[in-house]
Amino acid sequence: MDKSTVTRIGVSGTGMIARALVLLIARHYKDMQVTRVLTRRPLRDVADFPLNDVLTNSLDDLIDNSDLLIECSGDVCHGTVVIERAFSAGLRVVTVNAELQVTTGSYLAGKGFITEAEGDQPGSLAALREEAILMGFEPLVYGNMKGYLNHNPTPADMAYWSGRQGISIDQTTSFTDGTKVQIEQVLVGNGFGATITRQGLEGIPSTNLDESAAVLGAMADSIGQSIVDYVIPSGYPAGGVFLVGRHDRVQQSALQYLKMGGGPYYALLRPFHLCSLEVGKTLRRVLGGGGVLLNNSTTPTLGVAAIAKHAMPAGERVVRGIGGFQFRGEGLIIERNPNHVPIGLMNHAVLTRAVEPGQIITFDDVDLLPSRALDIVLQQRRAPRVLVEDLPMLAGLGGAPETYAVPEAAHP
């Protein structure tokens, strides 16, 4: 194939998603080539990375040798700096970084092309939504599945499951304590103009998806707006996503014949999400001119706040927010909690006041490390906001030094 027709793919991140993704592109996408992979670690420490000849510590090198960028570092502050640099070079960005999307993604969505990829639950829900609408369904509930939930797991348990599953302790913790599902659902809610029924979502135990879908569908109807939520399945597999929709009454008999039940709420299940293996579908979409699959929109109404897991005194140092043992994330309505600190900003912070278990952390409670991401969040909070009740219901929204340094050091 003529090299001029090959799209140069740059990747930010060297974790599990990045590893599987570069192998997928190398073996199955002949019109694409991974040309650079940015890492903040010494190159010798990632020598076992696939295609290690394209590894770089230089953000300039990444940008100069890419036609399209995939941000999958999982880091809010780092990813924000990388994406802004990509936009300054006119690059489009695909992310597998919902944490970034719900923290700085709305600002970034107003500055350049950014879309979440299919594969993780938010992108999978976005793809399911497109299919549902094409079939005539009106989406009422965007649903996630949570196989296990423990708001305050112990370090010992998380170390055990981290080793057993082959992922980091912080990832294991953020999955277990519910932070990740809150982040994912807030991203979907902002992207598609949906809301939540209460702080932290319902998260209902479920032994039958159709019955749970009817309960959630009725909740959406009762408030007159589509919602995001999740279920905790028992007796049937978790791991997928689902959508609850309504259809034209004239289709009721046909849908019943097709084993969809008698309505008025119909559950569409996508029983898998294959993470990095599905990112290629979004690359094809973007390169083919298909547009944004999902982002946090430029007018978000939902956020993910840091919630204290236990009592802590003033002066306590916070190593990390997402995936740590001091805080977890909960989805909330921004207008009702305008001073909350996004959990994505809670790394390397210091508490300025004592906090109690279950407390929402505000900017008055913590001294945050300066970063470009923090600058963006504070800028957004100062901007005039649209009241939640003024938003249209069911609105479809879609709509540095050469060697990279830690973002905080670049923004004192």
Measure the N-to-C terminal CA separation of the chain; round to a whole number of Å.
47
| 8 A C-beta contact, residue 408 and residue 93 | no
Structure-derived torsion over alpha carbons of residues 81, 85, 86, 88, reported in degrees to the nearest 10: 140
Whole-number average pLDDT of the chain: 92
Whether 412 shows a pLDDT value over 80: the answer reads: no
Q: What is the pLDDT of residues 271-318, one digit of tens each?
A: 999 999 999 999 999 999 999 999 999 999 999 999 999 999 999 999
Q: How far is CA 300 from CA 118, 281, 397, in A?
A: 21, 26, 10
pLDDT tens for residues 181-208?
999 999 999 999 999 999 999 999 999 9
Q: What is the SS3 assignment for 5?
A: helix
Q: What is the pLDDT of residues 138-168, one digit of tens each?
A: 999 999 999 999 999 999 999 999 999 999 9
* Dist CA 43 CA 46 (whole Å): 5
- Count H helices and E strands in the chain, helices first: 13, 16
pLDDT at 407 over 60: no
396 within 8 A of 191, measured Cβ to Cβ: no
Rounded to an integer, the average pLDDT of 374-397 is 62
What is residue 4's predicted lDDT score, i.e. its pLDDT?
Answer: 65
Cα separation, 142 vs 226, in Å, equals 8
Between 402 and 334, where is the model more confident?
A: 334
- Spatial contact of 301 and 190, defined as CB atoms under 8 Å apart: yes
CA dist., res. 309 & res. 68, Å (int)? 39
Peptide bond preceding 370: is omega within 30 degrees of 0, i.e. cis?
Answer: no
For residue 3, name the pLDDT band (cuts at 50, 70, 90).
Answer: low
Comparing CA positions, the residue from 403, 382, 389 lying closest to residue 107 is 382
- What lies within 8 Å, CB to CB, of 220 at 6+ separation is 140, 141, 226, 227, 244
